[in-house]
Chains A and B, each alone.
Chain A
Amino acid sequence: MKILSLMTAVLVGAVLIYGTLDMPKWGDPHSPANTHVSPYYLHHSLEHTATPNVVTSVLADYRGYDTLGETTVIFTAGMACILLLRAGRKRRGKGDV
């Protein structure tokens, strides 16, 4: 079983490394990720949102609804934790009695 997992990990790693051979070089300022969409935000975020921090303006303004949904994710996870731990405590209490 361990050998099988190791073989799977090595195989997937080899495929991923094969995929990185076409990636742009590290720190290349002309890579597609750095030239395609992000210049728009760097150019316009100050006049659109009046915030010098571009990360903040994208997170809280352009993607504001996404951040709102993220709070739902955190809320759901917190509720799941609370319900799980409370249910466990109650069941164990019943078993002890």
Chain B
Amino acid sequence: MFEFIVGHYNYWMYVGLMMIGFYAMMAKRNLIKKIIGMNIFQSAIILFYISTSVKKGDVTVPILEHAHDGHGAHAVDIMHYANPLPHVLMLTAIVVMVATLGVAVAVTIMIYRRYQTLEEDEIIMSIRRG
């Protein structure tokens, strides 16, 4: 049981982080706080993926050693290098995260210029008043 908790509590941390972001996206009225929640959500997913690439033991980053000696190409011990694929995929996800953050902040600036507020209920009141 203790071993099971030690082997799985990292996933539970990411679930907790993700739900903090999810709650912020749903319940907060301030648009900037919603964007911060979206960022926490995305960061939790990235941490989760990176944690799947970890191997315990004598492991380093996925940069092959002795690559330029001429004899390194044939004797790659895969248990000596971390899994490179989650790192690559999360590099892609970070790019998407930055793009969405930029567009979201730009739209928020536009909303502030139009309504002079970032509180959702005040914006809705302002729209209803016409």
Contacts and interface: CB of A to CB of B under 8 A. Distances in A.
A6 B117 CA distance: 25
Interface in B66-117: 67-68, 72-73, 76, 78-79, 81, 83-88, 91-92, 95-96, 98-100, 102-103, 106-107, 109-110, 113-114
Contacts of A94: none
B81 A31 contact: no
A19 to B, nearest CB: 9
Interface residues of A, number: 53
Interface residues of B, number: 56
* Overall SS of chain A's interface: helix
Contacts, number: 150
15 contacts: A8-B26, A13-B16, A20-B12, A20-B15, A29-B57, A37-B85, A38-B83, A38-B84, A42-B64, A42-B81, A54-B62, A67-B92, A80-B106, A84-B109, A87-B110
Contact of A33 (B10, B53, B76, B96): B53
B18 interface: yes
A33 B52 contact: yes
Contacts of B59: 29
B78 A43 contact: yes
Contacts of B64: 42, 45-46, 52-54
B24 to A, nearest CB: 9
Nearest to B56: A27
A46 B100 contact: no
Most buried by A among B95, B99, B110: B99
Contact of B54 (A10, A17, A26, A73): A26
Contacts of B68: 52
A12 B22 CA distance: 9
The 7 closest A-B pairs by CB, nearest first: A25-B7, A52-B67, A77-B99, A27-B56, A20-B11, A5-B26, A5-B27
